[in-house]
Amino acid sequence: MTLKVRPVKLRDSLYLLIPVDIARLLGVASSSDFQLSLNENQDSVKLVYELKKDENQIVDEKRE
């Protein structure tokens, strides 16, 4: 499934916002750290955001 988002401009920067439902699903918090990588080919550039799971979240998933 593809979700289209448009950048939001604040001062001199552009931001891609995470929809609230997706942030909740992934457990994103204001303290979450992401790693951004770029995958480029002739036709497009993909921005890939990687969210490392919190150790507490990993422990909780193992219990389920």
Q: The domain spanning residue 41 has which CATH number?
A: 2.10.260
Enumerate the β-bridge partners of residue 13.
Answer: 10
49 in Cβ contact with 26 (< 8 Å): no
User: What pLDDT band is residue 64 in, cutting at 50, 70 and 90?
Assistant: low
Asked whether residue 26 is domain-assigned, the answer is: yes
Point out the least confidently predicted range of 2-6, 19-23, 37-41: 2-6
Output phi, psi for 30, to 5 deg.
-65, -20
Number of domains, the chain: 1
User: What pLDDT band is residue 30 in, cutting at 50, 70 and 90?
Assistant: confident
- In a 13 Å sphere around the CA of 42, the CA atoms on its Cβ side amount to 0
Distances (CA, A) of 12 to 41, 45, 48, 49, 61: 27, 22, 22, 21, 40
Asked whether residue 47 is domain-assigned, the answer is: yes
Q: What residues make up the domain containing 30?
A: 8-63
Asked whether residue 54 is domain-assigned, the answer is: yes
Q: Looking at the predicted structure, is the pLDDT value of residue 63 above 80?
A: no
When pLDDT is averaged across residues 28-48 and rounded to a whole number, the result is: 93
In the block, which residue shows the tokens 């909740």? 24
This prediction's pTM: 0.64
When pLDDT is averaged across residues 33-61 and rounded to a whole number, the result is: 82
